[in-house]
Amino acid sequence: MKTLKKSILGCIAALFVLSAPATMFANAAKGDVIVTLGEDLDEEERNGLLDEMNADDSSEIITVSNEEEYEYLGEYLGDDIGSNAISSSKITVTEVGAGLNVETNNITKVSNGMYANALITAGVEDADIYVTAPYPVSGTAGLTGLIKAYEIQNDIDISEDQKQVANEEMVKTSELGERIGMEEATELITRVKEELGDEQIESEEDLRNLIERIADELGIELTEEEMDGLVSLFNRMQDLNIDWNQVQDQISDVRDNLDEFLNREDTQSFISSFLDFINQLIDSLRGWFDGEGESA
């Protein structure tokens, strides 16, 4: 159970990046929908995705270009963005307190956590997010569309610094996760953010010591390059107007909700059934290999 909890928490923890003063869809009602479409979809692909997302005439549709992808993410993803804007998304407003739910289809580069990071940076709290494409793609157009949708919906401009810091964190978490595991990377980033509100960080050395201490507690050994990158990232975060206490509260709420989810009777029943299935599978494989050994 502890391992399962860590696995789920590692995925969810990446959702909490920066705390913005405005909330996306502040003037929107439950059930309102915004759809973003990659500009380079052909007509058949476009219609297919609209059907897949159950978009109708009441949905607001926003188009995302490849140029906008590079504008938002080019500094950190470079050529990984590609030359066409294909991935698309659907954002549905939910009730207050429902939180964020992210689901993807045919997305290979941008994780659910990376999408959620951009939304949290924009101030989104309660929405169902679906990102999709007609075939496997990186997903950067979908990510760009989510940020653009916020700006259009609220008729504001997210500061360039805020966009860049959010994008940098998403990419750094992904890169670090490729070496040490996504769960460990997201937990490290989240723990640092949790403690930034409590620690008295007055210098770069203080920040470096904080990151090093938390990494040691988690059994993570960072390279010098990784450490320098994280110090630079959190230095930039501190220069923004972030309510770290609110970030702590959000992370705490997720941990509480996770405990409640794992302790529910239906969850326990599912976990038990799943573990029984795994044990039966292992026993079957063991018997098969034993039989192979006797035949040899």
- Where do the domains of the chain lie? 21-157, 164-258
> Using N-to-C axis directions, what is the helix angle for 244-263 and 2-13, rounded to 10°?
140
211, 234 contact by CB (below 8 A): yes
This prediction's pTM:
0.62
126, 94 contact by CB (below 8 A): yes
Sequence-separated (6 or more) residues with CB below 8 Å from residue 151: 157, 158
> Using N-to-C axis directions, what is the helix angle for 160-180 and 224-238, rounded to 10°?
150
Instruction: Strands of the chain (E only): list them.
Output: 33-38, 60-64, 88-93, 100-107, 127-137
Per-residue pLDDT of the chain (296 residues; tens, 9 = 90+): 444 444 444 443 333 333 333 344 455 678 888 899 999 999 999 999 999 999 876 788 999 999 988 887 777 777 777 889 999 999 888 888 787 888 999 988 777 876 776 676 556 778 899 999 999 998 888 888 887 887 776 677 777 777 777 778 877 887 898 899 878 888 898 888 778 877 778 899 999 999 999 999 999 999 999 999 999 988 888 887 766 666 655 555 555 555 555 555 655 555 455 455 555 555 555 555 455 544 33
What are the b/e assignments for 224-263, b being 16+ CB within 10 Å?
A: eebeebbbebbeebeeeebebeebbebbeebbeeeeeeee
